[in-house]
Amino acid sequence: MTTWHEYVQREGAILEWPYPVRYGKVNEITSDVLIVGGGVAGCQAAINAAKKGVKVTVAERGMAKRSGAGGAGVDHWHGACTNPCSKVTPEMYTRAVFDSAHGYTSIPVRYISTREGWDTLLECEQMGVRIRDVDDEFKGADFRDEETKLMFAYDYKNRHVIRVWGYNIKPCLYNEMKRLGVDIHNRIVVTSLLTEGGKQGARVVGATGVNARTGEFYVFKSKATIIATGGAGRLWLFAPELTASSSMGDLNNAGVGQAIGWNAGAEFACMEQTGPGVLSGFGYAPYSMANTSNTYHGTPIVDANGKEVPWVDINGRQLKTLQERFLPSPGQKFQLGIGIGLYYYLDEYRLNDLVRDLPERILKGEFTLPLYADLTLMPESERRAIFGMMVGNEGKTRIPIYDTFTKAGFDPDKDMLQAPVMPPEAYWISNFWSGISPPQVRGLAGGVASWLTGI
């Protein structure tokens, strides 16, 4: 298959627009349930609605088989609190998130997702997503349960975050929608919600949209409408050619769902909350550089002279063994883990990490740049779980990172990953690949507080 870049290099010209232009055509689609957005959430909503026997339509701006923030994969599943190994209840987890967010989160949404997370993962397993170490590749590892063959991340004691082989989660969901007869419309940019009498705040009866390739106009009529689009994470990033690789946010996350909801009269909540733009751009491809955050949690970091940077618990106590990095600190309830939409964590739930004063220690000359991730200092099971199982299933890593690095000769059994060389103050977080995080760039939180629906 030839890429656009390869074609232009070979031919010296761009193809003419390959799709028919039909600005004058109007399509009317009628269904019981209309779902705006065909990412993981939208597909799952469509599947569950279709199982109830109703007619379901999905309007997706990209291609539902691979679109959305989860389109490129997922390597660990948060909030699986009802799995047979978990020591954390949904109530405990919800309270931890609410307290850490200082109230800026939805308790009902957090509780439902945590109460149903394990059941949803089992459904994904039935659709073809691998969630267990069925080949016994990691047999005997600290993070593996021998009876269920489940593998856990972050907190190896409380076991509420499950490692999964989720590179194919979107194709599996897409195929299940097709099997259930969901009416999928790809490349549709939804432009507005239709309300009774055209009045703002009235009952929603459908939506309008435009096909991004043909220009055809769509009128969707429905008894219930669900907005399942992504957030507004890319609103201030105006140079995608510079920032696309370094951001975890999908380039399409421009807040379309929020915009059409607002225009139709939806109520919003938590919109005054923002957080630092850690993943804002001006960095490197996700998971491509040395770091100890998220998928790389627990990884040893050494400086240019091979001196290892200490790990500490929430009280600043130095952790002497690698195994301690994955266990709660004395007196700590449990650890939440990275990737659940929180900017800050209370100490009761925060992960162990590198020493907090690393920038100062670099300035004093205690550690010499550049820093490196030395996976060779880890047990083989940990090393292979990070680079191979998780890097390879996490979004944006299977092809650009795992395949590219492996084909180039990178071997985690003997090689190290270099961290970017930055001003010392930029090492204030251990997610080094996010680069220098401009303080003026901030992420937007909050969203629709009440669903606009005909139910």
Three-class DSSP category at 224: strand
- List the domains of the chain with CATH numbers: 20-72+167-278+445-455 (3.50.50.60), 76-166 (no CATH), 294-434 (no CATH)
Is it true that the peptide bond before 370 is cis, omega within 30 degrees of 0? yes
Residues 188 and 252 sit within 8 Å (Cβ to Cβ): no
Other CB atoms within 10 A of residue 363 CB: 13
The closest alpha carbon to 142, from 360, 348, 322, 5, belongs to 322
Q: Are 390 and 298 in contact (CB under 8 A)?
A: no
Q: How far apart are CA 93 and CA 112, in angstroms?
A: 11
pLDDT, one tens digit per residue, over 25-69 is 999 999 999 999 999 999 999 999 999 999 999 999 999 999 988
pLDDT category of residue 331 using cuts at 50, 70 and 90:
confident
- Interval 386-442: pLDDT, tens: 999 999 999 889 988 999 999 999 999 999 999 999 999 989 889 888 776 554 444
- Indicate the SS3 state at residue 252: coil
Contact indicator for 318, 309 with CB cutoff of 8 Å: no
**348-379 pLDDT tens trace:** 999 999 999 999 999 999 999 999 999 999 99
User: Going by C-beta distance under 8 Å and a sequence separation of 6 or more, which residues neighbour residue 409?
Assistant: none
Q: How far is CA 399 from CA 287, 392, 404, 407, in A?
A: 12, 7, 6, 10
pLDDT at 450 over 70: no
Specify the pTM: 0.90
